[in-house]
Amino acid sequence: MEYLVAARSAVARAIIAALLFAAFALPAMARDYRHFMIGDRDAPTPGPVSPGLLLMGGGDRNFDVMRWFMKKAGNGHLVVLRASQGNEVGEEFYEQVGGILSVETFVFKNRRPSNDPKILASLARADGIFIAGGDQARYVRYWKGTPVAEALDAHVRAGKPIGGTSAGLAILGEYLYGAMDGGSLRSPEALADPLGAANTIETDFLHIERLKGVVTDTHFKERDRLGRLFAFLAKAEAMTGTPRRSLIGLGVDESAALAVEADGSGRIYATDPGGIAWLVRGGFAETQAAGKPLSLRRVDVTGIGPGSVVHLPEGRVDAPVFQRAYRATGGRLQEVAPMMLVIHGGAGVERRDMTPDGERDARAALELALRRGHAELKAGKSALDAVTAAIAVLEDDPHFNAGRGAVFTHDGRNELDASLMDGLTRKAGAVAGVHRVRNPILLARAILERSEHVMMVGDGAEAFAREQGVELVDPAWFRTEKRWQQLQRRLREKEQGAADHGRPGRRFTGTVGAVALDTRGALAAGTSTGGMTDKRYGRVGDAPIIGAGTWADDACAFSGTGWGEFYIRAAAAHAVCARMRYLNEDPAEAGQAVINVDIPALGGDGGAIVLGADGRIGLPFNTEGMFRGWIGADGVPHVAIYAADPLPPPPVP
């Protein structure tokens, strides 16, 4: 009897404990999250469930893409996760979009419900999961490293669709901006200090294979978020270890949604014709410094529109709406030309010395040089390759005062000079006073790449050329009747005491040169010349002198043509690029100040080609004509000879 009493007492205590738990624990748990249910959760899913990713930019829902998502979920049962507000998304999906049997919504208030069996069971049972907008920091704090995160990964591995909008999209990539400091980082602040504490990049949250190596962002165009996505990528790549991995950024406009199939192919749905996604190619070569502005020579950005197809995770885009390149410097973004090549065939051109056939042939040669250099850029080769290729064409053409068309010295010889500079490395090579090097620019390239020196002269330079396999020719190769007669006329004029009218540099001068911007954002410059007719005593002008006739750095490339003594005295090439760097002048302004003001003030004349890192150009000259031209990414050459010749400027980025 005592045993029965004791047993009944124990049962009573257990019942009381259970009631107390129900009275206190369950309300406490209910305070941790809110739960909403619409529709018949027990009805069988009518269609097949298949993989899919829905990446929405944060604006109004596009019902067409939502129906795509519902179909991926077999038109069955959705679970909506969020950490603020209530059942608004569930009601919209069920009542307005339609095509589903039920929508179950869980609104988290803290981290504790991430272990709740009821929530985990609903996630396991769901045909599709949608993560609403809000504050991604809450999602990171509430779900990272919990069974909820594991359930989301398991859902995707099981071949079921998942989607998100705004903050719900922001957390889906392998690396993500967590906004963990309670703010929302704007592009100017992110560009000013990409490694700073405010750029709170998280990883090891979700592990979705099609978003491996991807950093996402939303409200993209509307909130000017391109700059901060660059910063996200820079910091995320710094976190990938050694060697650093290349990542891609994916920004989605508010009016756009990207629907990604099981094979990784994604298409845009948009409520506005201008709504797109932006793919930012990472793999940045530059290492950023803490507390310093973002510094990137070139970042490629591709637009993904309704007619495009993006392939994830590699980031290849078919039929893009645009392909742009940007440069980050001093905390600012600057759109740059994808590629650019500018050439000159010398200033000092005078109509009285030209014939219609000569003009036609010179234009054809300029176009050929542009196409040769452009082919190098299009093939992904360096600016140095493009400059070398273009100048070699002009050196082999007798219409220009370089290589085969070089003028004669007082002693009736051809003495050739050239220089080349790589703006990426500041390496340079130069040669002066050679007589048998077919293409002096190739010898300058060999000096730049395969010697410890910058300049070589005369017989020593030719000995080096022979060792390096640079082609040597008989000096007769360079002789042209036109240049020989120029020398004879010049000698007669001197004998007769004819005056130069104070401008000997304008007569019978010329040089060839090229400047290029490649697809990496690197610049290069080169110059080649036969000097001045009737030069004596081993005279060397500006063409082979780095800083006078040639210069390239990370912001500017310059090649000059004119009266070399004054270019040397003005340090013309460096002066132009210094004005661009320190006075923030564009190539046209800086070129005008030095070539058309400073040098004439000293008594000289000539011209130049100037190229900025953004693809803008300057073509200053103060003679009757200057052979010149440019070619951009479209591969169409543009050339001119005289000052009055029409020459359309490159499109401004």
Helices (H), 496-608: 564-570, 572-582, 587-593, 599-602
Cα(536)–Cα(409) distance, integer angstroms: 6
Whether 387 contacts 344, CB under 8 Å: no
Cα(328)–Cα(326) distance, integer angstroms: 7
Q: Which long-range contacts does 470-475 make (Cβ < 8 Å, 24+ apart)? A: 470/437, 470/439, 470/442, 470/443, 470/446, 471/437, 471/438, 471/439, 471/442, 472/436, 472/437, 472/438, 473/436, 473/437, 473/438, 474/436, 475/413, 475/414, 475/435, 475/436
Structural tokens at position 35: 């739960």
> Kind of pairing, strands 550-552 and 316-318?
unpaired
CA 492, chain centre distance (Å): 56
Q: From its phi and psi, is residue 245 left (phi > 0), alpha (psi between -120 and 50) or beta?
A: beta
List, in sequence order, every beta strand (DSSP E) within 213-366: 214-217, 248-252, 256-260, 265-270, 277-281, 296-304, 309-311, 316-318, 322-329, 332-336, 340-349
Closest listed residue to residue 266, CA positions, set 208, 314, 326:
314
Query: Which residues, other chains included, contact 319 with Cβ-Cβ below 8 Å and sequence gap of 6+?
Result: 305, 307, 308, 309
Cα(40)–Cα(34) distance, integer angstroms: 19
Cα(131)–Cα(106) distance, integer angstroms: 10
The yes-or-no answer on residue 511 being catalytic is: yes
Cα(480)–Cα(406) distance, integer angstroms: 8
List, in sequence order, every beta strand (DSSP E) within 501-571: 512-517, 523-529, 550-552, 556-562
Query: Identity (one letter) of the amino acid at 409?
Result: T
Exposure class string for 282-311: b at 16+ Cβ within 10 A, else e = bebeeebeeeebbbbbbbbbbbbbeebebe
* Dihedral (CA of 633, 638, 639, 642) sign: negative
* Dihedral (CA of 300, 304, 308, 310) sign: positive
Query: Which residues, other chains included, contact 8 with Cβ-Cβ below 8 Å and sequence gap of 6+?
Result: none
Angle between helices 440-450 and 458-468 in degrees, nearest 10: 80
Question: Which member of 511, 527, 529, 561 is catalytic?
Answer: 511
Cα(256)–Cα(60) distance, integer angstroms: 9
Query: Which residues, other chains included, contact 194 with Cβ-Cβ below 8 Å and sequence gap of 6+?
Result: 230, 231, 234, 235, 288, 293, 294
Q: Which residues are catalytic?
A: 511
